Amino acid sequence: MTVIFESDQPVSKEARGSVAVLGNFDGVHRGHVYLLQQLRQQCPDLPLSVITFEPHPRQLFFKEDAPFRLTNAKERNAALTEQGVDFIFQINFTPEFSSLSAHDFVHQILHEHLGVAHIACGECFAFGKGRSGNIDYLSSETQSLGIGLTVVKPLQDENGNISSTRIRHLLKEGQPVQAAELLGRVWSIQAIVQHGDKRGRTIGFPTANLSLGEHVEPKCGVYAVKIALPDGQIRIGVANVGYRPTFTQESECRLEVHLFDFDQDIYGQELKVWLHAFIRAEKRFSGLEELKEQIVKDASDAKEFFNTLK
């Protein structure tokens, strides 16, 4: 079982002396998994830990930017748990923390607070105030403290490095299948079902409405989806991501999910929704009837997609 430590929590004795992998781990994609595997192989006798930051540093430095995350903290930690990481050190990325010097980060955080035995990061990792701590600096400091260091080359495919940025682009372009290849699993969002305009049920397609929260906005349109309910049931359905231009040009992008062969009140429940395939772009219809006709077709396309998967 993975144990999570936040900044202000004391680190237990068992969690000291780990091999710690540093990074944001947004998405916990194939490149991240590769990095973890390398370190597990290299230091099989040490507990494996991840040192990560919350919020994502970009969320602090570029507050006005649109949401961009592949995984929020909960989803990232769940994905790391699935990888068998022993400890997650989740550092509260505050303005104070961001102004810590590279020297203090290594001495106070890595050495004194976390007591790491060995650290690892990707080639282009930089840290400390103004990103002043680079790999050369890390190498000389860790050596003087007796901490091991491994720098891992990024995992690549024929189009370059596997990266969170590439996966975000693929989702924004409506390519969930290609995104899943880099991620190593189908991309999903976990969120609580909210109340909407109560219009869905009047056209025979009730939709569970989810806010995207911190997540990147995938291409607006219709997707074939799988849904996990809190009781563990997995269902299939069809979903719309977007602003519903037929009714109003609303300001919030929503993920609206219609579950097939399902008729229960699930307001307030947490769903996990996997975006399996992109079906079509969102558009403005002349009215409810025209929209309904199209949704009937979308539902049939989504069912067809899952049938061909079998």
Ligand X SMILES: Nc1ncnc2c1ncn2[C@@H]1O[C@H](COP(=O)(O)OP(=O)(O)O)[C@@H](O)[C@H]1O
Measured between alpha carbons, how far is 219 from 172 in angstroms, rounded to an integer? 5
Told to check if 21 binds ligand X by CB under 6 A, we report no
Using CB atoms within 10 A of its CB, is residue 180 exposed (0-12), middle (13-18) or buried (19+)? Answer: buried
Q: Kindly list the distances between the CA atom of residue 66 and the CA atoms of 69, 188, 204, 212, 287, in Å, as whole numbers in the listed order.
A: 10, 19, 33, 11, 31
282 binds, among ligand FMN, ligand X, none (CB under 5 to 8 A by kind): ligand FMN
CB of 227 to ligand X, least distance (A): 9
Q: Report which of 148, 1, 119, 149 is spatially closest to residue 51, judged by C-alpha positions.
A: 119
* Interface pick for ligand FMN out of 2, 42, 83, 246 (rule CB under 6 A): 246
Q: Which amino acid is at 59?
A: Q
**Position of tokens 């860790």?**
142
Q: What residues are paired with 150 via a beta bridge?
A: 120
* Interface pick for ligand X out of 23, 47, 57, 196 (rule CB under 6 A): 196
Given CA atoms 258, 261, 264, 270 in this order, what sign does their dihedral have?
Answer: negative
- Residues that bind ligand FMN (rule: CB under 6 A) add up to a total of 24
Per residue, the 3-state secondary structure of 155-206, as one string, reads: CEECCEECCHHHHHHHHHCCCHHHHHHHHCCCCEEEEECECCCCCHHHHCCC
Told to check if 193 binds ligand X by CB under 6 A, we report yes
Binding mask 255-284 toward ligand FMN (x if CB under 6 A, else -) reads -x-x-----------------------xxx
* Interface pick for ligand X out of 7, 169, 266, 285 (rule CB under 6 A): 266
* Interface pick for ligand FMN out of 63, 96, 136, 198 (rule CB under 6 A): 198
Measured between alpha carbons, how far is 124 from 45 in angstroms, rounded to an integer? 27
- For the chain, the 3-state helix, strand and coil shares in percent, each to the nearest 5, are 35, 25, 40
The residue among 44 and 268 lying less far from ligand X, judged by its C-beta, is: 268
* Interface pick for ligand X out of 112, 204, 230, 267 (rule CB under 6 A): 267
* Interface pick for ligand FMN out of 82, 197, 250, 289 (rule CB under 6 A): 197
Helix (H, G, I), strand (E, B) or coil at 61: helix
The residue among 107 and 199 lying less far from ligand X, judged by its C-beta, is: 199
* Interface pick for ligand FMN out of 209, 227, 259, 275 (rule CB under 6 A): 209
23 binds, among ligand FMN, ligand X, none (CB under 5 to 8 A by kind): none
CB of 179 to ligand X, least distance (A): 24
Strands 270-281 and 221-228: antiparallel
* Interface pick for ligand FMN out of 15, 68, 240, 274 (rule CB under 6 A): 240
Residues of this chain, 209-238, that bind ligand X according to CB under 6 A: 209
Interface with ligand X (CB under 6 A): 193, 195-201, 206-209, 258-259, 262-267
Residues in contact with ligand FMN by CB under 6 A are: 196-200, 205, 207, 209, 222, 238, 240, 244-247, 256, 258, 282-285, 291, 295, 298
